[in-house]
Chains A and B, each alone.
Chain A
């Protein structure tokens, strides 16, 4: 059965991907799954230079979720190209690097270099990093900074450009629409929600960075709602993610408007889950006699659009 989807010219063999930051560079996950079976692997957020990440506590469980403050620990562009990318290509994986620069220039440089490689069919721009040159404001939470970054990145990116949206804004749909207007080929929604944990014993924040990103099943209803809103606002593909832990969860995202989905936090709990989702998706398509996935993408939307009533 053909489960493939397209993002601009990039064909994903199925709509199941693994999310950036929850799959490393594939090496560890390859002990559990065949990476070539995935729609794509979004690799760990990449910067030009290697980053050690944050000191102190980096992760803690919350009710049905996880707070993390890893601090974008990564090997840097050079080692990514010399070690990580060759491994992933050897494994037969479709690789989508996640670009996480801390200035417009850094993101531009990363997009330019990565998108010039024949092995790379798409890059994902992570707009949830602080812009260190503009007082540390997060690119993805200020429409002006966001617009400037996506425009510059679009200009230099020769392959498909996916923008990974921050949920920490009032109207994610506005940011999605702006990305589409600038020429992004898809959006990923959503990145982690800002959260916090107080260490009551030490009477201070648990994380050195004070705040941290919340992910996992705890955020799923929030993420489904945002994907639904984005689907109303744009016509480019949406890659839906946020706490997907079962095939039913994956279907929710597709029916809300996602063309593809990413498994994030659940890779940490059940490293084989993505392959299970691909198998179940094939069975579902067959048993429901769905010839083309597009028959169910966004099917939950009513002709009248979003309700204007109070919940």
Chain B
């Protein structure tokens, strides 16, 4: 069974970094692990977390404490942790590309593993790190190290550029010159990125509500141009232009 190496480390207000000895060296940026938070079946369902980083067999995730499950995880003692994975699909990786990446809040997590990998593939990376306020920014130095241009945006202007990451990203995307755009964050943000991208391909990583995370319950199905797709097995990474964004309005 996977092991939590050390107690969760707070990296921003309400955000915790968990380092897990996973026993595997194999995963792809965009994939997730599914963690059971209680042996007493309450909370019952596993919680999905995108892989933030993977070095040798050590995987790390960023947990934002928002409910009972994530609160339990943020206080998880070191030792055995009931995690299944890696699960789901990863981002498309290609070498020597100009890429634009926009993350929102905890949605920045899978994008770190992505840029680290893309930097190794000699991509030119423009990274837009969007959060509501300064105290929610986690590990910016690490993101900066793997980006050619790194811009923080905050809703209240307490750090970096004031406004939404999508405002800046849309402007950049509209200017063209990118081979690929990647985004993960709140639904309105990802939708805005897809709309701003025009003909540039956009990959999004969805964070909607999962039941099982392994494809058996169909609880996370979303509408796409290719029919209904289970976000946990056909995703969480999707081609953004194939998603029926109107149908996502009422989905958490």
Contacts and interface: CB of A to CB of B under 8 A. Distances in A.
Interface of A: 21-24, 27-29, 31-32, 52-53, 55-61, 63-66, 68, 70, 73, 208, 216-217, 245, 265, 267-271
The DSSP consensus for interface residues of chain A is loop
B5 interface: no
Contacts of B250: 56-57, 208
A268 B219 CA distance: 11
A269 B250 CA distance: 25
Contact of A267 (B41, B42, B212, B219): B212
Contacts of B214: 28, 31-32, 268, 271
A169 B137 CA distance: 53
Contacts of B247: 55-56
Contacts, number: 87
13 contacts: A22-B217, A24-B215, A53-B218, A53-B228, A58-B218, A59-B209, A59-B211, A61-B43, A68-B219, A216-B44, A245-B41, A267-B212, A269-B212
B182 to A, nearest CB: 27
Given A55-B223, A55-B247, A61-B43, 8 more contacts: A59-B219, A60-B209, A70-B218, A267-B212, A268-B217, A269-B46, A270-B36, A271-B214
A63 B68 CA distance: 11
B41 A70 contact: no
A267 B216 contact: yes
B70 to A, nearest CB: 12
B220 interface: yes
Interface string B23-45: 00000000000001000011111
B251 interface: yes
Contact of B42 (A60, A63, A268): A63
Interface of B: 36, 41-46, 84, 209, 211-212, 214-221, 223, 227-228, 233, 247, 250-252
Contact of A28 (B36, B45, B215): B215
A57 B252 contact: yes
Nearest to B87: A31
Contacts of A68: 211, 217, 219
B38 to A, nearest CB: 9
A58 B220 contact: yes
B252 A217 contact: no
A268 B45 contact: yes
Nearest to A31: B214
A65 B211 CA distance: 11
Nearest to A18: B216
A269 B41 contact: yes
